[in-house]
């Protein structure tokens, strides 16, 4: 489906004279064993914008195997969309990130919470827009949440548990294209501990300081991201990165910052095609 973001990118491409084709993955199949991927995808560089995590992952895998340059790559999709793997990638790269544990049963969860204390944050390993993220305020609440999750799909029994970072009532979303942080916004929460704009969080411009640029670019590089949204929090010890977003949205950020994120993305993608 074509959201504001995809239409903005298509318009930016048209304005720059860059040839672009919008391909709906729902209406096609991709050969895994044939010589090419699909005649509908003739272009060498593919910008992956599937909003479905699984369609995104598998179509990226198939397209890369067929020789396309996909932004972002399968490795980036895998290591950013899964919060467990993302945290491991950030840790490997030496990027400050909140204390995080993974557990698989109630017993393991309670052990982790014994170390994290309350409140603590529980998120599904794969999920977005704040969906099913829970702020665990005490042991009783934690046990009730875990009991619910035990009846859900097994993927929800991967308990990604993180310290609740004391911060202003906002976080920072930055946009990294190539090796540069091109824009940043504060996302101020609207009566919810989650700051996602999908949950009513408000976007306000944030200056891209050297500190913000450094951590954002390093975080993008940690997962091999070429066009990503990086989430930061202002902890008492400085900026920490808690997430990298593989298929970042920017509908609210363009008007908030005045930065032509889709145009910059198109310029970058066109440069890949010229290499």
Closer by beta carbon to another protein, 113 or else 254: 254
24 counts as binding another protein under rule CB under 8 A: yes
Question: Among residues 114 and 151, whose Cβ is nearest to another protein?
Answer: 151
3 touches another protein (CB under 8 A): yes
Residues 127-146 that bind another protein (CB under 8 A): 127-129, 131
Cβ–Cβ under 8 Å, residues 72 and 226: yes
C-alpha span between 37 and 40 (Å, rounded):
9
Please report whether residue 61 would count as binding another protein according to CB under 8 A.
Answer: no
Report the DSSP pairing between strands 159-163 and 134-136.
unpaired
Shortest CB 248 distance to another protein, Å: 5
Two tokens at 122? 């529980």
CB nearer to another protein: pick between 113 and 241: 241
User: How many Cα neighbours within 13 Å face the side chain of 32?
Assistant: 4
Using the contact rule CB under 8 A, the part of the chain among 39-47, 121-129, 140-148, 202-210 near another protein is: 121-129
**Binding test (CB under 8 A) with another protein, winner from 21, 22, 32, 190:** 22
Q: Taking Cα atoms as reference points, which of 96, 83, 100 lies closest to residue 239?
A: 96
Binder of another protein out of 18, 38, 53, 251 (CB under 8 A)? 53
Here the tokens at position 4 are: 């504001």
151: contact with another protein by CB under 8 A: no
Extract the tokens encoding 218: 């390093």
Query: Hey, which residues between 234 and 273 contact another protein (CB under 8 A)?
Result: 245-249
- The SS3 of residue 79 is helix
Q: Which residue has the tokens 């290499």?
A: 275
> How many residues interact with another protein (rule CB under 8 A)?
23
Q: Residue 257 and residue 191: Cα distance in Å, rounded?
A: 23
**Nearest residue (CB) to another protein, 217 versus 244:** 244
How far, in Å, CA of 229 to CA of 247, rounded?
8
Contacts of 49 (CB under 8 A, 6+ apart): 5, 6, 9, 247
Q: Is 100 in the site for another protein (CB under 8 A)?
A: no
- Which class for 161: exposed (0-12), middle (13-18), buried (19 or more C-beta within 10 A)? buried
Tokens, residue 74? 């399968």
Residue 117 Cβ vs another protein, minimum distance, rounded to whole Å? 28
Residue placing its CB nearer to another protein in the complex, 31 or 52: 52
Q: Using CB under 8 A, pick the residue from 126, 135, 165, 270 that binds another protein.
A: 126
With contacts defined by CB under 8 A, name the span among 32-40, 45-53, 175-183, 234-242 that binds another protein: 45-53
Cβ 63 vs Cβ 55: under 8 Å:
no
Of 161-190, which residues contact another protein (CB under 8 A)? Answer: none
Task: Kindly list the residues in this chain that would bind another protein in the complex (CB under 8 A).
Answer: 1-3, 7, 10, 22, 24, 51-54, 126-129, 131, 153, 229, 245-249
């Amino acid at each position: 489906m074509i959201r504001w973001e995809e239409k903005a990118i298509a318009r930016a491409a048209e304005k720059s004279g860059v040839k672009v084709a919008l391909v709906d993955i729902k209406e096609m199949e991709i050969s895994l064993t044939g010589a090419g991927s699909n005649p509908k995808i003739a272009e060498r560089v593919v910008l992956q914008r599937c909003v479905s995590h699984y369609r995104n992952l598998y179509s990226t895998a198939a397209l890369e195997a067929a020789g396309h340059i996909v932004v972002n790559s399968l490795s980036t999709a895998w290591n950013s969309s899964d919060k467990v793997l993302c945290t491991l990638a950030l840790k490997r790269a030496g990027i400050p990130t909140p204390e995080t544990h993974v557990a698989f049963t109630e017993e393991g969860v309670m052990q982790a919470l014994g170390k994290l204390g309350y409140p603590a944050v529980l998120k599904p390993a794969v999920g977005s827009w704040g969906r099913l993220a829970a702020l665990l305020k005490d042991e009783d609440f934690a046990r009730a949440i875990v009991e619910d999750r035990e009846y859900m799909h097994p993927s929800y029994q991967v308990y990604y548990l993180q310290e609740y970072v004391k911060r202003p009532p906002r976080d920072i979303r930055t946009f990294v294209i190539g090796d540069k942080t091109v824009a940043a916004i504060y996302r101020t929460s609207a009566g919810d501990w989650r700051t996602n704009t999908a949950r009513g969080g408000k976007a306000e411009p944030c200056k891209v300081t050297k500190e913000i640029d450094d951590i954002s670019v390093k975080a993008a590089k940690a997962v091999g991201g070429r066009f990503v949204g990086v989430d930061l929090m202002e902890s008492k010890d400085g900026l920490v990165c808690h997430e990298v977003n593989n298929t970042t949205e920017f509908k609210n950020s363009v008007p908030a910052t005045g930065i032509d994120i889709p145009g910059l993305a198109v310029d970058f993608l066109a440069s890949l095609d010229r290499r």
